[in-house]
Chains A and B, each alone.
Chain A
């Protein structure tokens, strides 16, 4: 369970986020919607530990946490171009979780199969379509066994007619019990996937 309480963030004195509150229960999907400039990405970056907060609390299962408990699927995916699909996924489990190569590769192959990317493991990111890159990015994040998987604008870097595919994929992952947090400016998309929705608005200049 992820709890965010009274979260506030300022950049150079300008408030970007003010008193953000929500609770995300295990296995559920929360969509955070709002126009660009509303601080959605900043919120995600704070939750994932890439950005610091000014005040407020972020608790995972009742506790403060460090980097790594939350997986991220970046807007541009940020796959490592010099590594094959398989190595993109197994790198961190091997180096950080100290999994053996065999175990890491077995897990990676299972994730790829689950995400309908079986057979692509030897390819390099430049050889993949946007939708395929996204699936690899999801597999890479899931291989680290995060408590929550976050997506930053999962539909924006993709062909518009792929939106339905992304919806289906996110709902499929939900069936396997994954807790997900999705940031989007696409209201219909948010409505189709989410159990709860949080709307945030840009804060006016004080």
Chain B
């Protein structure tokens, strides 16, 4: 009986999973590069750029993501900026996660020994060559564990999109639970999250292995 029930609700759960994966994937693709750029902004010598980025990071890290979603979807239309649900969710997630990534990259960048920059300087490498050949490869290795943590958080945070009416995995489970008065859908939801996160952990492990060619 349970097996038949699972078969019945699985399509809607898979639909929800697809939404979860889409939010996850696009947030990661967009927030990582924006995070790198923002981290450079945080270390900028131009005061105004530095303070603007710091303010942005403060707002993003200082208020709940749930609140930010509500503001973007229900609040911005008051100012004349209207996002459809999915775009509102992506916009918020990208801005929020880019701020966390920026802090991680900044920390990674600042942990690189000053001697690395000086060695590059006396070898007459320009700033771009120094960053791409020497600094960024080392930063990536340093930040991988922290980025991995955030990526796993992102999978779970994506469930917050229910608040603006998007049908993600958790919402699909909730709907089935309320309708059929059983916890079985939520058990399935938990299993699917676990599978998604295991995949992320596996990818993280492989990346860390790849970068373990030096110490």
A positions within 8 Å CB-CB of B: 48-50, 67-68, 70-72, 74, 76, 78-83, 91-92, 95-96, 124-126, 140-141, 144
- Residues A125 and B214 in contact, CB atoms below 8 Å apart: yes
B119 touching A78 by the CB < 8 A rule? yes
CA A43 to CA B141, docked complex, whole Å: 35
Choose from A50, A71, A78, A81 the contact partner of B138 (Cβ within 8 Å): A81
| Contact status of A50 and B122, CB under 8 A, knowing A74-B115, A126-B215 | yes
Query: Contact partner of A74 among B119, B124, B141, CB < 8 A?
Result: B119
B4 to chain A, nearest CB (A): 55
Q: What is the distance, in angstroms, from B25's C-beta to the closest C-beta of chain A?
A: 28
Q: What's the dominant secondary structure at chain A's contact region?
A: loop
B182: which A residues are within 8 A, CB to CB? none
8 Å CB contact of B124 from A50, A68, A79, A83:
A68
* B149 CB-CB contact with A under 8 Å: no
Of B34-42, B66-74, B129-137, B199-207, the one with at least 4 CB within 8 A of chain A: B129-137
| Chain B residues with a Cβ under 8 A of chain A | 113, 115-116, 118-119, 121-125, 129, 133-134, 137-138, 141, 213-215
Closest residue of B by beta carbon distance from A67? B124
Closest to B113 in A: A78
18 further interface pairs, Cβ-Cβ under 8 Å (given A48-B122, A124-B215): A49-B122, A50-B118, A50-B121, A67-B122, A67-B124, A72-B119, A74-B118, A74-B119, A76-B115, A78-B116, A78-B118, A78-B119, A80-B133, A82-B134, A92-B123, A95-B125, A96-B129, A125-B214
Residues of chain A lying within 8 A (CB to CB) of residue B141: 82
User: For residue B121, which residues in chain A have a CB less than 8 angstroms away from its CB?
Assistant: 49-50, 67
Contact B133 A124 (CB under 8 A): no
Bound-state CA distance A144–B125 (Å) is 11
Q: Which residues of B contact A95 (CB under 8 A)?
A: 125, 129, 133
Name the contact of A80 in the complex, choosing from B116, B124, B213 (C-beta under 8 A).
B116
Q: Is the CB of A126 within 8 A of B214?
A: yes
A82 touches B124 (CB 8 A): no
**Known contacts A91-B133, A126-B215; A144 and B124 CB within 8 A of each other:** yes
Q: Is the CB of B214 within 8 A of A96?
A: no
A67 and B118 CA atoms in complex are apart in Å by 11
Residues from chain B with Cβ under 8 Å of A71 in the complex:
122
B residues less than 8 Å from A79 (CB atoms): 119
B127 → chain A, closest Cβ, in Å? Answer: 12
Residue pair A91, B125 in contact (C-beta under 8 Å): yes
| Distance (whole angstroms) from the CB of B57 to the closest CB of chain A | 28
- CB-based contact B214/A144 at 8 Å: no
Shortest CB-to-CB span from A98 to chain B, Å, is 12
